[in-house]
Structure 1
Amino acid sequence: MGRIAIGGGAGLIITLVALFLGIDPGSLTGGAGDGSGQVLTQGDAAIDAHIESCTIEKANTDDICRIVATVNSVNDVWSDLMPGYAPPQTKIFSGSVATGCGPASSATGPFYCPADQTAYFDPSFFAVLKQMGGSDGPLAQEYVVAHEYGHHVENLTGVLAKGNRMGSQGPRSGSVRIELQADCLAGVWAYRADKGPDAMLEPLTQAQIDSVIQTAKAIGDDTIQGAGSNPESWTHGSATQRSRWFGIGYGSGDPRRCDTFATNDL
């Protein structure tokens, strides 16, 4: 079985997104997915054909195929780590999409909808990350996918509902804790994705990990809001917090280290 060698980039530029690797704001309640874990589209024949053509080799250079390969890897990792893990669906779309949490567009950014247990991705978002100061490197893109799957794990464990009860804004809000935990769980995936005989990735280098750290910092609330950012308005965590929690997950490979609800030292 081949592995993905880290390398490649993204292309299109779209309007700056309102949400950055987050949960669709329409719902924070659990829902019933079908557990298939398959990659779907909204009836887009071109994207369907693209997905059908994907190989592990294409995932080295192609954004859509990289999403598909990462979905397979993340599902494998969580199936090993979490007893009873049921994969979400993943939908790749362009422009707009109907979801169990309501309509969404490319401007929403990648998100997970708990109501239909589906992660949604428009590949053009990857270029936005670069425009914002993030990396367009493959591992940074894979981090985006793994972060959304972290939200699915949180949904299965009840963390999403717990966070929703704790508020949506502020440096120690439930929303910030949810997002930082998803960053940490993405780090757990990265720790495990290049290990074992069926590993998806070639052994990761420090430069590749640095590309994720760069991206996590670029989408911190204080980075996005700029000088004078008010922590009481934060929903996702600061640049330092986001990169730190990814590092905790990557450094340990242990999801138990990702309990952002057990500490106020975020």
Structure 2
Amino acid sequence: MRFNPKARLDSSQIEDRTGGGGGSRGGTSLPIKAGGGIGGLVLVIALAIFAPDLLDGSGTTSSDSSQGQSQTQGSGDFAACERDADLANSTRECRLVAITNAVQAYWADAYPQQTGNRYQEIRTVPFSQAVTTGGCGQATSDTGPFYCPRDQRVYLDLTFFDTVLRQLGGNDTAFTEAYVVAHEYGHHIENLMGVLGRVRSRSGPNSDSVKLETMADCLAGVWTRSAATVKDADGNTFISDLTRDDIDEGIDAAKVVGDDSIQERTQGRINPEGWTHGSSRQRIAAFDVGLNRGTIEACNFFRAGNRNYPEA
């Protein structure tokens, strides 16, 4: 996966909290129930951590904001990405800017076209060690990547790819990072659709929680289908080269974060009734639905009669 050095990158879509700050003060501990607490290994490796407890009954929210191997050291300067877009091919910070820009530019066009409603641009928040969200409480590096529906932001500790994902045997590549970010923005699409408020059952192979997470995987596949064609304001694509091998790396990431894979690795046994994100097979199948169908409607696993939902 290569990024276009001619693309116009917009670092304003990044809210940098990597300076060690926890963000705004206030809030309570994130009441996420998985694997025994916020520091539990199962929680650590779960992509798109999402707690239904954080939502109000309606699912509505308020907002205060209208390569190859990814083992390079970061520059710590997101603004530098605007001066030199080619840095996306060598630094994680600029890679995150380029991915965020490409994901949001896609949904800014596709979401209105497919739903008739306006897309609301949000921000990706990279942080270090700990962060306080605007409504979802506090989180640490152990939480993994997550979307907070209360402040409508995607939170990501950049060390996640260097530590937890590798512990599970996943490859740390540019597209793996893109898959994770696209998955989290899939939750934002769900939020705009009002889907988050429909979550009732919290665990089990066909629970609402699994439907929510596999739908986000599907939406990541929808973006992937068009990722190499998404353009900036000047008409330049953000991504200049995206191969099937790159996409397979993202699929591998979906596989290693499947609930069954996590349970077998960490507990030595598989318990489908404890699944919250879906099995490896479900997550891969959901991603493929989005990649092959390319529509939000195909991914809406909460729609009655949707035969695309990957049953366990």
* TM-score interval, normalised by the smaller of the two chains: 0.7 to 0.9
Q: How has the CA–CA distance of structure 1 residues 156 and 60 changed in structure 2, closer, same or farther, with 3 Å as cutoff? A: same
Does 2:57 match 1:31?
no
Give the TM-score, by structure 1 length: 0.85
Distance 1:201 1:265 in 2: 29
Which runs of 5 or more structure 2 residues have no equivalent in the other structure?
Answer: 6-38, 67-73, 113-117
The alignment-based identity, stated in percent, is 44
Does 2:103 match 1:68?
no
1:9 maps to none
Distance 1:106 1:22 in 2: 13
Cα shift readout 1:178-228 (whole Å, capped 9, x = no counterpart)? 000000101111111102553221242111111011100000000000053
Residue type of the alignment partner of 2:106: V
Cα shift readout 1:41-66 (whole Å, capped 9, x = no counterpart)? xxxxxx99521222421111212221
Q: Bigger shift: 145-154 or 222-231?
A: 222-231
Distance 2:42 2:245 in 1: 26
Does 2:245 match 1:184?
no
1:250 maps to 291
Q: Does the residue aligned with 1:97 lie in a helix, a strand or coil?
A: strand
Distance 2:192 2:75 in 1: 28
* Aligned partner (choices 269, 275, 285) of residue 234 of structure 1: 275
1:152 maps to 188
Distance 1:243 1:198 in 2: 30
Distance 2:273 2:87 in 1: 43
Residue type of the alignment partner of 2:252: Q
Aligned-residue RMSD, C-alpha: 2.2
| 1:185–1:246 CA contact under 8 A, matched in 2 | yes
Alignment of structure 1 residues 47-58 onto 2, 5 Å: 50-54=77-81, 55-58=84-87
- The Cα of 1:35 is off from its aligned counterpart by 4.1
| 2:282–2:310 CA contact under 8 A, matched in 1 | no
Cα shift readout 1:107-162 (whole Å, capped 9, x = no counterpart)? 00000001111110111001221221112110111110010000001001011111
Q: How has the CA–CA distance of structure 1 residues 108 and 185 changed in structure 2, closer, same or farther, with 3 Å as cutoff? A: same
- The Cα of 1:17 is off from its aligned counterpart by 6.0
Q: Does the residue aligned with 1:257 lie in a helix, a strand or coil?
A: helix
1:129 maps to 165
**How many residues in Structure 1 have an aligned counterpart in Structure 2?**
244
* Aligned partner (choices 256, 259, 273) of residue 218 of structure 1: 256
Indicate the structure (1 or 2) with the bigger Cα radius of gyration: 2
Which runs of 5 or more structure 1 residues have no equivalent in the other structure?
Answer: 5-13, 37-46
* Aligned partner (choices 233, 239, 245) of residue 207 of structure 1: 245
Distance 1:131 1:206 in 2: 24
Q: How has the CA–CA distance of structure 1 residues 50 and 15 changed in structure 2, closer, same or farther, with 3 Å as cutoff? A: farther
Give the TM-score, by structure 2 length: 0.73
- The Cα of 1:253 is off from its aligned counterpart by 1.9
